[in-house]
Chains A and B, each alone.
Chain A
Amino acid sequence: MSYLLYFEDFPPGEVVEYGGLDVSADDIVAFAREFDPQPFHIDEEAARATTGGLIASGWHTCALLLRMNCDAFLMRAAILAEAGVEENRWERPVGPGDRLHVRRLTLAARPRDSGTGEGEVEFLYEVVNQNGLVAMTQRSLLVVQRRSEDGAD
Chain B
Amino acid sequence: MFYEDFRVGQTADLGSATFSREAILAYGRRFDPRIVARAAAGSEPVAASGLHVAAAAMRRLVDTRNALRAAMAARGEALPELGVSPGFREMRWPRPVYDGDVVSYLMETVLKRETSKPKWGLVGNRFRGVNQRGEDVLVFSSVVLAVRRAAKA
Contact = CB atoms under 8 A, between A and B. Distances in A.
Given A35-B56, A36-B58, A59-B58, A85 B91 contact: yes
Contacts of A106: none
A76 B126 CA distance: 33
A68 B85 CA distance: 23
A85 B56 contact: no
Interface in A31-80: 34-40, 50, 57-59, 62-64, 66-67, 70-71, 74-75
B49 interface: yes
Interface string B39-55: 00100000001110011
Interface residues of B, number: 29
A40 B90 CA distance: 27
Interface size class of A (residues with CB under 8 A): 20 to 34
Contacts of B30: 63, 67
B87 A88 contact: yes
B89 A86 contact: yes
A40 B92 CA distance: 28
A66 B49 contact: yes
A35 B31 contact: no
Interface in B84-105: 84-93
A36 B33 contact: no
Interface in A81-116: 82-90
Nearest to A84: B92
A86 B55 CA distance: 17
A84 B90 CA distance: 7
A1 B87 contact: no
B82 A58 contact: no
Nearest to A59: B55
